[in-house]
Structure 1
């Protein structure tokens, strides 16, 4: 806010956007519930901009015309930190909005990382890892069952201190609201039952390249696959609600001739969404550690996104379509430096994960991409260390910004 006139804070519902922005704002205008404010927007919009600033316009997407008015107000006043906008859905495509480039900055807010919720010590700095520094520190005292419970509960501020049973009830209601109100409210009528089946199908596909043909068949169930266009509309709605965040495919220059996957890897913005959609909890995950490992990958991906955000980094994944070799996350910084992360819930898998990272790094054309800043295995384990081969092993409960 010190360098730009307005800030848009977006993200899914219930991640704390309004509560956080309200700490900074001097005036809060709730566009979804304040009828007087909406009437003023139609009749005399200048009134909305006369209050002490910074002014927060909460759920601004309910009145998309507000975007252009904020943009114009920033131009007219030529000052910084004037306005905040918060929203939990992107406007429809037919909303006529001009670019806010140079006037309205963007900050994505997600459910809390383990460091934010108090379940990671944060002793190992993600930023320091990206500089190639040696890690040191201790993880939080969480066992694998404890971490699985955190996956089920998720990073929702409303669930801090709540039990798994209470959290499962809350998230189930959250998804029901998404299916019955939020998704249908974004456009043409959509079947809530289909939305719930899609959420479950995406939950089963967590950590994998979700095939659209498979998703269409699972949503249609006994009635047969839904139409490709219908599936695209459902996925678009979940994207507008910022509930899904697939990892795009990284396609670097390689030393060998490889056919690289172009499709992304499915992840929800929080692992609890997919787990809840499947109707399971920590007990079921403890009896199926392979599935638990995929949801653990989603948990770590959420935290990596959060820690990398202040560095303006991008996240992607890599897979060789010929050999099946893959790397769970590639983090790239604006200066071109990069690091590769393998995510394994079990400590015993660190050796195989390290070998996989080294083999991958050896295939990348470093004359074009440079040497990796770090090769990291993130686990649910107990120890932080750098291996003799240079690969770093870090428990997720020790990682922080």
Structure 2
């Protein structure tokens, strides 16, 4: 997926074009360095980089019309450094109605006083952007389309040739555009510097109260050890406090809020279908980083350590799969959830679509575990009250390598290197 002079196309490119043709302004949200600016630049006629352009920041404060009256679409990059722009953009969209595609706002953090952002409804559309999926980075064939699966098609094909060590490299390197050609060693250095910047600068800039850097580092390490689980805040508080005892829950909640506002973590909410079983469901979210490489960097690990402990690496692989499935599901307007009951029966990924269709997926590093995972999915589908939520549009086992195909029991086997939107 490559376009233009050095620009590698993203799944959200088409979504951005569609939104610009339908609404006055579009906000692209995502973590730093995930490619928001490059993607927005492809569609913009005028570009203001507010984080580095002092003149543009002054204009935003004292004469915003000078910026907003530029040839459209106008890109306001890192708009959150001048949060008053939100209301000015909203008013400009109203004043110039019914014109569409006037402004693109890109930001890597949510301002603290974001209560008024709800007033952007109908004027400012929001697009979530994440680090590159394997399809976008050139490591997936895309032969197994999620949209085709949701339509009931029998997808088939093979992966792009990644071995298990190659997939582990992608877990360590991540989907950051700056690291496309980096080795895991070089990527590890970059990512540790990235997290250090987050801890020492970005989180501190979000509020008036200083956050303890060592506490934040311990929280990142705890989240990394608990990735793909529903670890409770009380457990995280113990890890953060260490030998001195757990820190206050409110302290951890504040740290987690900062990480969410910086788009560094993205949990999977629980799916609550109508169930035939009387077993209560768990409503706590499953914790993930926006990209598994952040978990690897927070733990100071690399490919050698991950290869030596494939059981633990399976949780990081699940984070990789969830990242990609979010990218692919978003293209069709879908969302990613998880399901777990109080007996600890669970399904790793539930994809839901706006029209009510849903699909269930299990994640397994070892392709030989497909039989067990398929049995889990078939048992789960029988617990769902299909008279109320319908039959699953698809069920699949997402694994590391091999071919994409549908089994006789209706469950598809899907190597991550074959997935696409």
**What TM-score do the two structures reach when normalised by structure 2?**
0.93
Structure 1 residues 9-67: Cα deviation after superposition (integer angstroms, max 9, x where no partner)? 11000001111111211111122222222222232222112221111101101111100
C-alpha distance in structure 2 between counterparts of 1:94 and 1:320, whole Å = 34
Find out whether 1:395 has 2:419 as its counterpart.
no
Contact 2:155 2:404 in 1 (8 A): yes
Match among 42, 66, 90 for residue 47 of structure 1: 66
C-alpha distance in structure 1 between counterparts of 2:182 and 2:292, whole Å = 17
Structure 1 residue 388: deviation in Å?
A: 1.1
Structure 1 residues 285-322: Cα deviation after superposition (integer angstroms, max 9, x where no partner)? 11111111000000000000000001111211011112
C-alpha distance in structure 2 between counterparts of 1:113 and 1:335, whole Å = 25
Q: Secondary structure at the match of 1:23?
A: helix
Find out whether 1:226 has 2:247 as its counterpart.
yes
Structure 1 residues 157-185: Cα deviation after superposition (integer angstroms, max 9, x where no partner)? 00011111100000000000001001111
Find out whether 1:152 has 2:188 as its counterpart.
no
Contact 2:221 2:299 in 1 (8 A): yes
Find out whether 1:271 has 2:307 as its counterpart.
no
Q: Secondary structure at the match of 1:99?
A: helix
C-alpha distance in structure 1 between counterparts of 2:107 and 2:263, whole Å = 10
C-alpha distance in structure 2 between counterparts of 1:96 and 1:141, whole Å = 48
Find out whether 1:176 has 2:200 as its counterpart.
no
Match among 21, 30, 40 for residue 2 of structure 1: 21
Find out whether 1:67 has 2:60 as its counterpart.
no
- Mark the CA change 1:98 to 1:123 in structure 2 (over 3 Å): closer, same or farther: closer
Gaps of 5+ in 2: 1-19
More displaced 10-residue stretch of structure 1: 114-123 or 251-260 = 251-260
C-alpha distance in structure 1 between counterparts of 2:277 and 2:320, whole Å = 32
Q: Secondary structure at the match of 1:254?
A: coil
Gaps of 5+ in 1: none
C-alpha distance in structure 2 between counterparts of 1:63 and 1:220, whole Å = 35
Q: Secondary structure at the match of 2:337?
A: strand
Match among 403, 414, 420 for residue 383 of structure 1: 403
Contact 1:8 1:104 in 2 (8 A): yes
Q: Secondary structure at the match of 1:249?
A: coil
Structure 1 residue 94: deviation in Å?
A: 6.4
4+ residue runs over 4 A deviation: 94-98
C-alpha distance in structure 2 between counterparts of 1:398 and 1:42, whole Å = 48
Please give the residue correspondences for 1:2-401 in structure 2 after superposition, counting only pairs within 5 Å: 2-78=21-97, 79-93=99-113, 96-97=116-117, 99-187=119-207, 188-322=209-343, 324-401=344-421
More displaced 10-residue stretch of structure 1: 164-173 or 383-392 = 383-392
Q: Secondary structure at the match of 1:384?
A: strand
Contact 2:61 2:82 in 1 (8 A): no
C-alpha distance in structure 2 between counterparts of 1:33 and 1:336, whole Å = 44
Contact 1:68 1:98 in 2 (8 A): no
Contact 1:338 1:373 in 2 (8 A): yes
C-alpha distance in structure 1 between counterparts of 2:114 and 2:332, whole Å = 33
Structure 1 residue 381: deviation in Å?
A: 2.2
Contact 1:65 1:96 in 2 (8 A): no
Contact 1:64 1:97 in 2 (8 A): no
- Mark the CA change 1:121 to 1:98 in structure 2 (over 3 Å): closer, same or farther: closer
C-alpha distance in structure 2 between counterparts of 1:208 and 1:184, whole Å = 27
Q: Secondary structure at the match of 1:248?
A: coil
Structure 1 residue 96: deviation in Å?
A: 4.8
C-alpha distance in structure 1 between counterparts of 2:170 and 2:116, whole Å = 41
Structure 1 residues 311-350: Cα deviation after superposition (integer angstroms, max 9, x where no partner)? 111211011112x210001011111110000000101110
Give the root-mean-square deviation of aligned CA atoms.
Answer: 1.0
